[in-house]
Structure 1
Amino acid sequence: MPNEPSRLTCEQLSSFSPMDFLTPHYRQQLHASLNYLQRPAGTPLLRRGERSLAQYYLLAGKVSVEDGTGKRALEGGSPEAHLPLNPGPTNPVTVRAVTDVCLFAVEHHLLERLLSWSQEAAYEVSSLTDRQEEQAEDDWLTRLLATPLFGRLPPSHLHALLARFEYVEYQAGTTVVRYGEPGEHFFVIKHGRVQVGLPSASREQPTLVLERGDFFGEEALISGAVRSASVTMLENGELARLHRDDFVELVRPTLIPRISTQDLQRWQQREQRKHLLLDVRLAAEYRLGHLPESLSLPVASLRTQASVLDRSTCYVVTPEGGIRSELAVHLLNQLGFDAYLLGDDREAVA
């Protein structure tokens, strides 16, 4: 087997198609999820007509590619090698390793999702703001649409969402939401800064300051629980406010990407994607029964444990926690991880 080539940098990844269409933020997320593979000469890599969960690119070595009308050779490092061997979920060609080869793979659904987020965010920013391109980077709406939370929404939902925002001015020192109260609104900061105040039991955690384009209040609307923190204006400002009913209708359905048990089994059988199964219930609930190979990580510990989680790993959250499992998937994606809720084939949308 040849020595494994150096892992790609984000800049090198942008030379592969269609990664050049990704925004830098989403290209970084894809870069962390790349799976590098080595296969000996003679190994069948892809079979024409079969479905594949991952999209493969040749980095080093030589393969034969047969499309039903003829056979051609492809070498790593060539311009053609910067295109995927199998664009799309159904393999259009049969590929076999002629020499020992090195490849990298990216899961189809992840790539499609990141491309969609990038393209929809760019479309909405250009169509919903009447600003020059050089000003867009500083706009609150640009920042909002570049986040995973809103980047995955379809354009029709985004138009309806922005039409339903209510814009409210607040004075410095005003408490916008209070710990322990029911959640009635979701907020985006249009101008100004706010401070997130945690309850006394969590005072050892650092104070969080949010600014233009940041948002808050969604966790209580996802979980149905009361506010987990208070938020106070640090200076005079303006917030875009969305009522709970509109949030539930337009935003919540797209917050929780899912993966079917069948697709998860394919990952496990083919080792196509590095993943970890998480059970986010309390430890006592976990001990009473859990899915094989799942690890216990209560949802309340996700934020504090985020720094030790591997960003190249896909996290699949088991469904036993109900609304807690949905909240965990949202929190993980919000923190920049790739996370799915495990669901049956009828529910899966990933």
Structure 2
Amino acid sequence: MISAEQLQRFIPFGDLSEHALEELLPHFELIRLTSRSLLFKRGQQADYCHYLLQGSIDLIDDHFDVTRQHSEDEGNVLAIDADHSIHKYSAVVVDDCLIARLPRRSLQLINTWIDVALAAASDEETDWLEALLTSDLFSRIPPGNIQTLLARFDERPVTLGDILIQEGDEGHECYVIKHGKAVVTRSNGKQEETLAALGPGTLFGEDALISNLPRSATITMSSNGTVMVLSKTDFDTLLKIPVLEYVDNEQLNELIEDSDTGIIQLDVRPTQELIKETTSRARNVPLTHLRSHLDTLNRDFIYVVQGDNRAEAAAYILSEAGFEVKVLR
């Protein structure tokens, strides 16, 4: 198996903590090749990233120009010909080589988590239970519910590349990361948009349970780890019902009339559904964009959310982020 010391000379692994590297090592495969062996061929799908640990190879382009790469070269810090999903070169072994390879998708997940989190994971992971219980959301749950809730979680081991939630699927469970890291992505036409990097103590997947709408994003593990899983039934009973508050139109008017605090109405339906509704007093922030707009909202105000079955999901997200919020029936 490749060692952490060997791995750290290559980008981006030099930025990872020792703990993160140790988790990653089992995903590498070591390959020994003799002189004149073909590592990969031009035009082939680049499913793996190859790192040259020992020996030398020739990279041959479509004009048959040759570039030689030695393991001891100062520039040998990147995967071989890994800039594109299709190989631009053929790689032929010159001297007997030792190659470490990693699935390309795994490297993409690792890089994405680092980029979004803006830092590598620390050697000591955040305590998941402490992070969960000290969140704004849990301050609104009766203490008795918390004890029952923790007993209802099922522990599940996961590995790098596991898809926990698939965009478009129906939701039956929500999750908390106990150990490890994950990446949140959403399809944007033919491209994949990265939305967030998740770490220990993060609760996710609850939006679809509340709204009964399909999953709005894909969540993929970017390391090995453990997740705690909660069923929809337990989530509704122990988390959703205690957190959400409701008002009708009459109560909303009384709230606006009598409250010393500013009231802001949010409509979380997709913008295209509201084009003909020119009389609404509510600000439109579609549910799919709400998390990215949280920093534009003011915690000094009370938010009243409307938008059919999306309203409860939006109210839950706001409560989780520490806002005072009510659902308009």
TM-score range, shorter chain: 0.5 to 0.7
Unaligned residue ranges in structure 2 (runs of 5+): 1-124
Q: CA deviation at 1:280?
A: 2.5
Please tell me the residue identity of whatever aligns with 1:225: L
Is 1:241 equivalent to 2:229 in the alignment? yes
2:309 paired residue number: 323
Over the residues paired in the alignment, what is the CA RMSD in angstroms?
2.8
Name the CA shift for 1:290/1:159 in 2 (closer, same or farther; >3 Å): farther
| Correspondence 1:215 to 2:216 | no
Deviation at 1:313, TM superposition (A): 2.2
Residues in 2 aligned to 1:280 and 1:202: alpha-carbon distance in whole angstroms:
25
Alignment partner of 1:316: what SS?
A: strand
Is structure 2 residue 269 aligned with structure 1 residue 306?
A: no
Paired position in structure 1 for 2:328: 342
Query: Quick one: structure 1 residues 202 and 196, their matched pair in 2 at CA, closer, same or farther if it must change by over 3 Å?
Result: farther
Q: Secondary structure at the match of 1:251?
A: helix
Is the partner of 2:290 in helix, strand or coil?
helix
Matched, 1:230 2:209: no
Shift of residue 147, structure 1, vs aligned partner: 1.9
Gaps of 5+ in 1: 1-136, 344-350
Report the Cα offset of residue 310 of structure 1: 2.9
Letter in 2 for 1:314: I
Larger proportion of strand? 2
Residue 241 (structure 1) shift: 0.8
Distance 1:155 1:202 in 2: 46
Which one-letter code corresponds to 1:339 in the other structure?
V
Kept in 2: contact 1:315–1:338 (CA 8 A): yes
Question: How big is each residue's C-alpha offset from its partner over 1:219-248, in whole Å with a ceiling of 9 and x where there is no partner?
Answer: 111111222222222222111111222222
Please say if residues 246 and 328 of structure 2, whose CA atoms lie closer than 8 Å, have aligned partners that are also in contact. yes
Partner SS, residue 317 of structure 1: strand
Q: 1:78-121, CA deviations, whole angstroms, 9 ceiling, x for partnerless residues?
A: xxxxxxxxxxxxxxxxxxxxxxxxxxxxxxxxxxxxxxxxxxxx
1:186-197 equivalences in 2 (<5 Å): 186-197=174-185
Partner of 1:147: 135
Distance 1:264 1:227, change over 3 A: closer
Partner of 2:158: 170
Residues of 2 paired with 1:324 and 1:290: CA distance?
20
The 8 Å contact of residues 317 and 325 in structure 1, kept in 2 or not, is answered as yes
Q: Contact conserved, 1:194 with 1:209, CA < 8 A, in 2?
A: yes
Question: Which is greater in Rg?
Answer: 2
Query: What is residue 37 of structure 2 aligned with on the other side?
Result: none
Question: Match for residue 332 of structure 1?
Answer: 318
- TM-score, with structure 2 as normaliser: 0.55
Q: 1: distance between equivalents of 2:131 and 2:204?
A: 14
SS at match of 1:339: strand
For residues 139 and 196 of structure 2, what CA distance do their matches in structure 1 show?
23
What is the CA-CA distance between 1:266 and the residue it aligns to? 4.0
Report the Cα distance in structure 2 between the residues aligned to 1:156 and 1:291, rounded to whole angstroms.
Answer: 44
In the alignment, does 2:264 pair up with 1:250?
Answer: no
Letter in 1 for 2:323: F
Distance 1:330 1:249 in 2: 14
In the other structure, the counterpart of 2:147 is: 159
Q: Secondary structure at the match of 1:163?
A: helix
How many Å separate the matches in 2 of 1:203 and 1:157? 41
State the one-letter code of the partner of 1:254: P
**Compared with structure 1, are the counterparts of its residues 340 and 186 closer, same or farther at alpha carbon in structure 2 (3 Å cutoff)?**
same
How far apart, CA to CA, are the structure 2 residues paired with 1:306 and 1:160? 30
Deviations 1:192-237 (A, max 9, x none): 1111122234968544111111121111111112222222222221
Q: Percent identity?
A: 33
Q: Map residues 1-350 of structure 1 onto 2, 5 A cutoff.
A: 138-201=126-189, 206-259=194-247, 261=249, 263-270=251-258, 272-283=260-271, 285-286=273-274, 288-289=276-277, 293-318=281-306, 321-343=307-329
Describe the superposition over 1:29-57 as per-residue Cα deviations: whole angstroms up to 9, x where unpaired.
xxxxxxxxxxxxxxxxxxxxxxxxxxxxx
**Matched positions, count:** 205
1:145 counterpart letter in structure 2? L
Q: Compared with structure 1, are the counterparts of its residues 179 and 294 closer, same or farther at alpha carbon in structure 2 (3 Å cutoff)? A: closer
Deviations 1:141-181 (A, max 9, x none): 12111223333221222222111111111122222222222
* Amino acid in the other structure paired with 1:301: H
| Conserved? CA contact 2:185–2:193, under 8 Å | no
**What is the DSSP-based 3-state SS (H/G/I as helix, E as strand, rest coil) of the residue aligned with 1:199?**
strand
Structure with higher helix content: 1
1:331 counterpart letter in structure 2: I
- Counterpart residue identity of residue 174, structure 1: D
Q: Note the C-alpha offset of 1:263.
A: 5.0
Distance 1:252 1:202 in 2: 35
Distance in 2 separating the partners of 1:173 and 1:189: 15
